[in-house]
Amino acid sequence: MKNRFVVIGVDGATFEIIQPLIEQQKLPNLKYLMKNGFFVKLRSIFPVNSPQAWSSIATGKNPGKHGIYHFTEKIPHQYGIRFVNASLRDGKPLWRLLSEQGKKVIAINVPITYPPEEIDGVMVSGFDTPGIKNDYTYPSEIRNDIENLVGEYIIDLRLRNAVTHDKRDYVLRNLRLMEEKRLRIIKYLMKKYDWDFIMIVFSAADRVQHWFWKYMDIGHLNHDANEDERYKKAIYDIYQFIDTLIGELVDELDNHTSIAVVSDHGFQRATNKVFYINKWLKELGMLNLTDEANNSNIPIRGAVSELIFQNCHKLKSYLARLLPRQYKSFLKKTFPGLRSRVFTYLTFSRIDWSRTRAFSSEFYNSIYINLKGREIVGIVQEGEEYRSVISLLTEELYKLKDPQTGERIIENVYKAEDLYHGPNLSRAPDLLFTFKNGEYRVRQSHKVLNNPHANFLGEYASETWASGKHHLDGIIILSGMNIRRDGQLIDPTILDITPTVLYALGCKIPSDIDGRVLEEAFHESFLKLNKLQYLTEVDDVVGEVDYKDIYSPEESKQITERLRGLGYIE
């Protein structure tokens, strides 16, 4: 019988939740896999987000090579933002590498897999799929089989409004329904098609931890014992439910199958403390606004902001009616992509680029330098001036202190090249930073940017803001065929998954991969019979897909609403 490998992704899984439940005998299937193999924390990559992490898992390469850093990216040479999807990822993913070496694969719900690729097998794309009316499967006819089997397929749920309008029970029921359908689909495909490798990602743990953490965590600032009693076990219940699904899936496997249960990141408590980066940059003199933005008589703040987030495809006509002539001329020149599906911010629209040296997209802890030659209205000269701006920003970030405690809030500041390397390094922000103990979060500045009374450090408490946030430490559990039961994994990272699976299935490994084979996980007899093999010639790029052909205006709106519903954008 041939060797097989199954990767079960549990988005956001953490041993902080798993270990107590194991001790209470409430996760029998994970306990069995852990007892019969290896388990240890799996280090993710900063900044901790699903698109970057799953792309790193799938390729075994750092973001400087695969090019995915977050849910969105700044469009090269433009002051605009677009959503990322598989068309913007470089580097062959695991399922492609396996297909090209004669293995048959099935992949379901892995983030950043839309549009689905042509592989030797079956693919059902992830949450970057706009909707079920799109071709979310390869081959396309599988879509009919899925809908005949489970009815309407659930790509993901919109949680933000649901958890704030007393629909929490509805959310918890539908999280289960979403995952039940995925399990039914994978079991169907396993029986209908020959396969060597399967990868499926369950999303419910991530979603429930974002929105229900405060009910479980009595130390959370937003915890209310009276209100939260009903939902304090919601996270534990979802973990137990996923454990049951894993058990059903494992029951379908034979003794020649290896299993890896992995998460892209862990989870932790989120506080109410916020950092408005562009507000800080403005006060630092690094960012300046246009004269129109400084005029409080121009009613553009709230209306345009809401329009950008909800109705990108109507933006052009709305701006034509609302904005002054000189401002429209500026936008037309600076944002040539607004006519299409470019997703951008009011913050960007109000910046006077001719007087701005640094800015942030404010999606995460990052800053771009307005570099001459790279940006369309760049003013910072490459070389000494660039290094001077980087040095000044780094110094000022380390000076930031919590207004209440007086303690420093920044733990580390990194230049992009400190964290990443590769041909897509230029797509990364120039500076990235971490908060001490993860206490602060970044929030968009557009509501406070021009308010002289607002501070760039503050608090924001709302039901519409998630109470749980990502942590660098995820999980890995290895078990099954050829996997040892003793020993210890040595500091594994998410980059190690792809090379380890390739090795376990007897396939060659790309020579430019960043991860390593977790050799210590395999039996000595297997290691002796299976030498590491590498691909000497590597085609690093999957094949550039014209982005404009991926998301229509309506599809871009669907993606916007999904990410807002998940709490990833405001």
322 contacts 305 by C-beta, under 8 angstroms = no
pLDDT digits 0-9 by tens, 135-190 = 999 999 999 999 999 999 999 887 766 677 678 888 999 999 999 999 999 999 99
Inter-CA distances, 345 with 80, 304, 382, 529, 558, Å: 8, 9, 26, 56, 17
What are residue 96's phi and psi, to 5 degrees?
Answer: -75, -45
- Whether residue 308 is predicted with pLDDT greater than 60 in this model: the reply is no
The SS3 of residue 97 is helix
Task: Tell which residue, 495, 361, 377, 375, has the closest CA to residue 429.
Answer: 361
Alpha-carbon torsion (557, 562, 564, 565), positive or negative: positive
What confidence tier does 343 reach under pLDDT thresholds 50, 70, 90?
Answer: very low
Place of tokens 């439940």: 21
- Whether residue 452 is predicted with pLDDT greater than 70 in this model: the reply is yes
The SS3 of residue 59 is helix
Amino acid 81 reads I
Which span out of 166-170, 233-237, 435-439, 455-459 was modeled with the highest average pLDDT?
A: 233-237
Q: Of the ranges 93-97, 165-169, 351-355, 409-413, which one carries the lowest mean pLDDT score?
A: 165-169
**Measured between alpha carbons, how far is 559 from 554 in angstroms, rounded to an integer?**
9
Residues in the chain: 570
What confidence tier does 306 reach under pLDDT thresholds 50, 70, 90?
Answer: very low
Place of tokens 């097998």: 121
Q: Could you give all domains of the chain from N- to C-terminal order, each with its CATH number?
A: 4-269+469-566 (3.40.720.10), 273-277+352-460 (3.30.1360), 290-350 (no CATH)
- Whether residue 368 is predicted with pLDDT greater than 50 in this model: the reply is yes
Task: Find how far residue 368's CA is from the centre of its chain.
Answer: 20
What confidence tier does 560 reach under pLDDT thresholds 50, 70, 90?
Answer: low
What confidence tier does 209 reach under pLDDT thresholds 50, 70, 90?
Answer: very high
**Measured between alpha carbons, how far is 109 from 250 in angstroms, rounded to an integer?**
18
For the chain, state the CA radius of gyration. 24
Query: How many CA atoms, within 13 angstroms, populate the side-chain half-sphere of residue 237?
Result: 15
Strands (E), 494-567: 509-510, 534-535
pTM value is: 0.88
pLDDT digits 0-9 by tens, 485-502 = 877 888 999 999 999 999
